[in-house]
Amino acid sequence: MTLNLHTVPSSESPPPRIGNRLLATLPEDDLEHLEGLCELVDLAAGDILFEAGQPIDYIYFPLDTLVSLLAVAEGRMTLEVGSAGREGMVGASVALGQRFAQVRAVVQRSGHALRMEAEDFIAEFAEMDSLQHVLHRYTDSLLAQAIQIAVCSRFHVLEARLARSLLVTRDRLQSDRFHMTHEFLAHALGVRRVGVTKAASALQGQGLISYSRGNIEILDPAGLEAVSCHCYQQVRMPS
């Protein structure tokens, strides 16, 4: 997976402020100022925005894309410890003094994002009270999410964990239909592909989801939530 993004011409640009809800909580003047420091980029599924241990050069505010945050062990084993859609941002830790990425950030769904240079973001964070307030709340939510996912991965069965992951993705994308391959789910859940196949087949057999060639449709959200562990309620964030 490689980073292969490009800047979108202004004529193709969707209105940024209705895309990212974290930015939309800022006062009007602060929002306009930050938007002026951003460029709109097109992200493709599989793009790596940054790798664990590498410098964070850019901050991303997803508009209609979804980014998975993966903890990496020994360079190959992974576990999703969070995700960021239009409710949040990617790379917030640079404002807290962490210039090197602690996770791998992988685009899960293609779409657009606002991108800002890390140096500009650090400078604005130091001066903008509203941004400090929003970022502190958001990073606290991300930490709580990562802790709960770690607990979930240790103590709960794979079928419940998969149900939780699908429900969170549904919330972020605001859609019952999305694309997630067995390979990606295996990386996100830290298991072998055969485990994902068995768990997905079990959920499909109960009539909760439809799964074919990576195309997922949640048929019974309430039923899927009943199968999911209680961690779903702990890790879900406003979409």
Q: Per-residue confidence of the chain (239 residues) as pLDDT tens digits?
A: 444 455 444 345 444 445 899 999 999 999 999 999 999 999 999 999 999 999 999 999 999 999 999 999 877 788 999 999 999 999 999 988 999 999 999 999 999 999 999 999 999 999 999 999 999 999 998 888 888 888 888 899 999 999 999 999 999 888 999 998 889 899 889 899 999 999 999 999 999 999 998 899 999 999 999 999 888 887 776 54
| C-alpha to C-alpha distances, 42 to 5, 45, 62, 104, nearest whole angstrom | 5, 10, 10, 19
Q: In whole angstroms, what is the distance from residue 168 CA to residue 162 CA?
A: 10
Domain boundaries along the sequence of the chain? 6-128, 156-235
Say if residues 21 and 53 touch (Cβ distance below 8 Å). no
CATH topology for the 156-235 domain? Arc Repressor Mutant, subunit A (1.10.10)
**Domain 6-128 annotated CATH 3.40.50.620:** no
Q: In whole angstroms, what is the distance from residue 114 CA to residue 224 CA?
A: 33
| Residue 46 CA to its chain's centroid (Å) | 13
pTM: 0.84
Q: In whole angstroms, what is the distance from residue 51 CA to residue 57 CA?
A: 11
Burial 86-120 (b: 16+ CB within 10 A, else e): bbbbbbbbbbeeeeebebbbbbbbebbbbbbebee
Burial bucket for residue 157 (CB in 10 Å: 0-12, 13-18, 19+): exposed
